[in-house]
Amino acid sequence: MIIDTTNFKKCRATKCQKKGDYVNGLCDTCTKQIHKALNKEKKFKRKTYSISKKSDREYSTAFREAKKYFQLWSRLKFADEFGMVKCVHGSIKHYTEIDGGHYIPAEKLSTCFDEMNVNPQEKNKNMDMHSPITNQQYTAYMIKKFGQDAVQNLVNRSHMQIKYSSFELKEIAKKYKLMCENKIKYLRL
C-alpha cells in the first residue's frame, strides 16, 4: 500500500519536526507531553488549594472557640453565686439559659471581643436584634450602664478594620476559658 505524503503537515510543537496526518496538529509524542504537563499543573493547584482550605478551617475553628468562651464569660461575669444573671432586657435567668448578646454584631471583628459590647441577653431577644424595640432597649441599657460617650466610642471603634490571626484567636479562647473555669468553681450549682 502506498501512502501519499504530500498532504502531511508538520507537528505544531516548536521543536518537533515530525510530519504526519495529525488531527489536532500535534504528533502523538507531543500530545502526550502536553497532557502530562497539564496533569502536573492540576495536581499542583489541587495541593495548594488544600493547604489554604486547611488554614481556613483552622481559622474558623479558632474563631468559634474564642467566641464560645468569650460569650460564656460575658454571661458568667454577671452571674451571682447561684448562676443567675439579669438580662439586658430585665429578666433574671440562669446563665445557661441566656445568650451573650452583641450590641454591635459579631461580624465587626474590632468589637467582637470587646467586653463592653457583649452582655447577657435572652435568647429570643438576641435573635430579634433587628427589631427597633429590642434595639432601643439594648441601647438604653448600654447608655445607662456605660454612658453616652462610651457607647459612641464603641460604635466608632466598630468601623475599624481588624483581622485576627489563628494564633491570636487561640490565645483569646485560652484566656477566657481559664476565666470561665475559675468563675464556675465559685458558683453553687
pLDDT average per 10 residues of sequence, the chain (189 residues) = 60 66 68 73 53 72 94 92 91 91 90 92 86 89 94 93 92 95 83
pLDDT at 76: 92
Per DSSP, the three-state class of 113 is coil
Q: Which residues pair with 98 in a beta bridge?
A: 122
DSSP letter (8 states) at residue 16: -
pLDDT at 44: 56
pLDDT digits (tens, 9 = 90+) for 28-63: 777 777 777 777 666 655 544 444 555 788 999 999
Q: Which residues contact 145 (CB under 8 A, 6 or more apart)?
A: none
Encode 98-125: b = buried (16+ Cβ within 10 Å), e = exposed: bbbbbbbebebebbbbbebbbbbbbeeb
CB atoms within 10 A of CB 160: 10
Strands (E), the chain: 9-10, 19-20, 84-86, 92-94, 98-102, 118-122
Which residue, chain included where needed, has cell 458568667? Answer: 76
pTM: predicted TM-score of the whole model, two decimal places: 0.67
pLDDT at 50: 44
Number of helices followed by number of strands (H, E) in the chain: 6, 6
pLDDT at 48: 47
